[in-house]
Chains A and B, each alone.
Chain A
Amino acid sequence: MSLRLGRSLVVTASPHIRKRDSTPYIMWNVVASLAPIVGAAVWFFGPSALLVLAASVGGAVATERVFGKGGTIADGSAAITGLLLGLTLPAGMPLWMVVLGAAFGIGLGKLIFGGLGYNIFNPALLGRAFLQAAFPVAITTWPATGGSWLALRGDNFAIPLMSPRVADIVTSATPLGLMKFEHKPTALWDLMIGTTSGSLGETAGILILICGAWLAIRGFLNWRIPVSILATVAAFSAALHALDPARYATSLFMVFSGGLILGAVFMATDMVTAPVTNLGRWIFGLGIGILVVVIRVWGGLPEGVMYAILLMNAMVPFINRATQPTPFGVSRAKAAA
């Protein structure tokens, strides 16, 4: 036999070919898709935005590096958590708090469960929930947009554990706060393009939708979740608005204000903490949508996206169980029995 092989044969199990994308590739694509939103945050809030985002990503990645299994930074998931957490924070947040929140999100939100793939709750939101509980004032001090691009917006460099000095900045209530506590609606166009106060990445609704669409088209994001969340919020709030227009905001206001779009597109769609079945994803989105409206309208807080998503995260195992696909050739009646 004249056939010669330079190296020994590879013998692996079938299938011998794979679709060409990988979990790290998906993660880094999500990171890349956030670039325009980061850009908008810097445009609206100046260098403070970059500082907060850098602290958040740095805190998340460093925690993953120190406490995670080796080599897991490269999968990109810690960077996403850091980036997303940063985008939910106000620009003036003291950086030491940001780092602490990121470390909490990665450490107790993810690594303690076993790392990537095993956590129940979205780690970025868990980090934010921790900050909300620990530093309620700092996390709700919203600098106004506009003004000098070079100005720091708040106490970014506050010394850890010292009570922050009251910053000499222009703050402003968020549109949801204005609506809830003063019944003052904000112009819709400002909401859509993001010239309102709020967290770094949540204000420019249209931009987030475009970035999300890009991810969805490329198959890195399941469109059913944001669509069902936004449709539920829109429908629910439209019904309320029809009942009492003076008391309840319009559905467009509800959809475009606060962190709803950011949450629907980038937080609720976190694959690890969302249902695995398509039917489950519709149910998950419906649940989040209802909770968001309920918390915003009847709860004590102006915003409700974070709690809505975290609550539904806890429901995911049940949703997955309840929406198991019926195997081919098994009648529905038999599957139910």
Chain B
Amino acid sequence: MRLFYRGPHFDHGVHPPELKELTSHLPIRRMPYPDEVVLPLRQHAGAPAKLAVNKGDRVIRGDTIATASGFVSAPVHASASGTVVDIGLWPHPDGTMSDAVRIEVDRYSPQVTRPRMVPHWEGLTPKEIVAAVQNAGVVGLGGAAFPTHVKLAPPPDVSVETIILNGAECEPYLTTDHRIMVEYPGRVQLGARIMLHTLGAKRVVIGVERNKPDAIEALRATLPTDIDVSVLPLTVKYPQGAEKMLIHAVTGREVPSGKLPVSLGVLVQNVGSAASIGEVFETGLPLLERIVTVSGPGVKHPANLIVPVGTKVGDLLDMCGGVTDDAAEIVFGGPMMGVAQGNLDAPIIKGTTGVIVLTFAQVPDARSYPCIHCGRCLDACPMMLNPSLLGDLARTGRYGEMEAEHLADCMLCGSCTYVCPSNIPLAQLFQASKSALKRVKAGAA
């Protein structure tokens, strides 16, 4: 029951400080090439790419260094010209080690790519477009890094009616998508047009949180008139950009538990990914670089930068004047769901939306108190779960009961942890429980 219509929204969620003002007005700038780029073969959800170069090879910017190892996989390209100096394990931004190709960048190279044909998308069949997008190595740029082309080729028995472009960017600090919408609205529109064509969908809705009026303005100013594209301003709260929340806000419908959005005829792509598709068919270039917000009180000169994929975070922070004396934690992604980095050598990968440097004053106290049943986590959980109960079950290892309480629907958004006055690491407990449950099941099977 909604007594008052409050505009497109989802229920619950939290409202952390937005903190976008550090970078939201800063135009995207290109950073100089670092001395070395490190390209992990595991850059996206799905199967890692297959190595296609040898140690000692000379590569030109844009060359394929690893090929897709199946349909749910995407190739990796050299983001800079230079020499492959090593292939081996390297710190991955997810905290593990992963096979990676290290390229020593040729300082004297003009960094132009080999001559390429620009694919003329209007003449291509949907199948050919999907192949072109895959060959360009485009993956979701909003963080999850799911190969973009896979979403453009849904199974034959489902049809996509509505494409939602996700421009919510609800994480604090991040302004990557914001700047893309402000500076490259035409590319976003081109990407939308190509997706519409490929999927045979009816309409595109670009959802943007209301705290980005200039982005809404820029997108509206470039709206095509021959296709059904609209811009929908959304309420500002976290996690407005979560797929299911966004669909709920835009269509008013709930994606059934355990089902994919496509069961509602809806497909969600990040605006940055749309712009990236547009770019592929504008320039013919594969995904070689991405836009990264470098922000947070711990970095000296916050910026929105075009960063070659494979740039080590230490080099990137150097470009931004280094970190302050009270810098404590370096996070890839936003502070709500991002991953803290333990190693300055971890490279920027395709899914890295931002590098946020937090200070000691911000790092949460490690001390937690028992659950006092204040219920704040229930009011915060956008999936309408009971994190207090799930937390109790997790602590006593009752994973089976957690499953019955819909642990699978938890998207680890961290809203519950954010509000918990007892500082209980709920989202962390749920992540661990999910893995434990998986292990239990694998053992039982």
Contacts and interface: CB of A to CB of B under 8 A. Distances in A.
Interface of A: 1-7, 9-19, 21-26, 75, 114-118, 222, 271-272, 274-278, 281, 320, 324-331
Given A17-B336, A23-B421, A26-B421, 13 more contacts: A10-B360, A11-B340, A12-B340, A14-B337, A14-B338, A15-B417, A15-B418, A16-B364, A26-B374, A115-B370, A276-B373, A328-B257, A330-B256
B378 A2 contact: no
Given A15-B418, A19-B418, A325-B378, A3 B318 contact: yes
Interface of B: 14, 16, 95, 172, 244, 248, 254-259, 312, 314-315, 317-318, 322-323, 325, 327-331, 335-342, 344, 356, 358, 360, 362-366, 369-375, 378-379, 381-386, 388-389, 405-406, 409, 412, 414, 417-423, 425, 427-428, 431
Nearest to A25: B421
Q: Which of B258, B323, B330, B364 has the most CB of A within 10 A?
A: B364
B428 A13 contact: yes
A278 B372 CA distance: 15
B342 A3 contact: no
Contacts of A14: 331, 335-340, 412, 414, 427-428
A104 to B, nearest CB: 21
Contact of B422 (A12, A23, A277): A23
B427 A271 contact: no
A329 B381 CA distance: 13
Main secondary structure of the interface of A (DSSP, over half): loop
B325 A1 contact: no
A9 B358 CA distance: 10
B335 A16 contact: yes
A327 B373 CA distance: 19
Contact of A271 (B341, B362, B373): B373
A117 B370 contact: yes
Contact of B371 (A1, A117, A222): A117
A327 B372 CA distance: 22
B79 to A, nearest CB: 18
A18 B386 CA distance: 19
Contacts of B362: 16-17
A16 B254 contact: no
A2 B418 contact: no
A320 B390 CA distance: 13
A22 B373 contact: no
Contacts of A9: 328-330, 340-342
B329 A16 contact: yes
16 contacts: A3-B317, A3-B344, A5-B344, A6-B325, A9-B328, A14-B428, A19-B419, A22-B422, A23-B369, A26-B421, A276-B388, A328-B248, A329-B256, A329-B383, A330-B406, A331-B256
A13 B366 CA distance: 11
B372 A12 contact: no
A75 B322 CA distance: 39
A105 B125 CA distance: 76
A24 B378 contact: no
A18 B328 contact: no
Contacts of A275: 373, 375
Contact of B423 (A13, A18, A115): A18
Contacts of A320: 389
Contacts of B16: 17, 19
B89 to A, nearest CB: 19
Contacts of A25: 421
B421 A327 contact: no
Contacts of A272: 372-373
B322 A3 contact: yes
B197 to A, nearest CB: 30
Contact of A274 (B323, B371, B373): B373
B342 A276 contact: no
A2 B172 CA distance: 28
A63 B420 CA distance: 27
Nearest to A18: B364
Given A1-B344, A21-B421, A16 B373 contact: no
